[in-house]
Structure 1
Amino acid sequence: MTTELTPSNVRNFTVSTEIFYNPSLDIYSQMIYIVLSSSTVDSASLTIDEVAKKGRMSTKNAIKAMQALVDEQLIPHKLFRKMIGEFQDDRLSWAAKGLLTYCKEHRGITLEELLALSDQSSEDEQSIRKAIMELEKNGYLEEFPELSKLAN
């Protein structure tokens, strides 16, 4: 059986061939890149489940593939965060996820205030700084310039 393509279901798009020569990208990352590049709707409106389905992979594989694309700076971290959310980002420890959640609720929080709160838990200054550096490394401190300064 042959399917004849009509102009309404033919799409032309361009994908940089550099993704095929990047040794740090596996086939899943390459496929996610192609799916996002060929999307007729705004990529930011896609869900991770839709992208995984189009890429013929599990959601977990799609998340890992997107993490690799972010690490290689082939897709923006904002797109990743919007599609995945911080709790599905397994690059983050629970300490970093908890700190991020707290910071989202208390936007103007300072290191001094975080350290004062650490007295209420078993966390010390070093573990808080480690979580801040983890958030910075993975692109989550864009909205928190005060904390971002501490990571450098």
Structure 2
Amino acid sequence: MPRRGHHDRNAAVRLGTLVGGLALVTACGGGEDDRARTPRPSKSSAVPTAGIVAPPRIEVIAGLAGCEAEIRIEADELREGLCHSQQADYRITTFPAEKYKEAWLDAASVYGGTYLVGPRWVVSTKAEHLEQARNKLGGTIRQLRGTS
């Protein structure tokens, strides 16, 4: 049976990795503007237009978006890659379980932004490219309201 202190420390390290990855994502784009905001619930677009939703593999999502991903983060809680196509730049984050994706989105809500969200994955790109990405990948466009 693991010692409680050891488990708590590992959980703190994993959460730190998750939040650090989020900070990297928001520092490189995906956020909105710098105006102060009060926290609000996220908004989601209605129904995805793609008939098939991309699986949670960065390489597959990148291929469907028309580019090849460069993996930037490999962690137990997430993988993150950058992908540059002729139409747009994408930051693709995948998760081994829905709970990690939801924790990431909860943390991202502090910063705000609009994201394309699928089962165990999140894609960020400029807002004007989100609908086109949704047509290729499926998923739902989610608007997160930030506090900064």
Bigger radius of gyration, 1 or 2? 1
* Structure number with higher relative contact order (C-alpha < 8 Å, ≥ 6 residues apart): 2
Q: Name the TM-score, length of structure 1 as normaliser.
A: 0.25
Report the structure, 1 or 2, having the larger strand content.
2
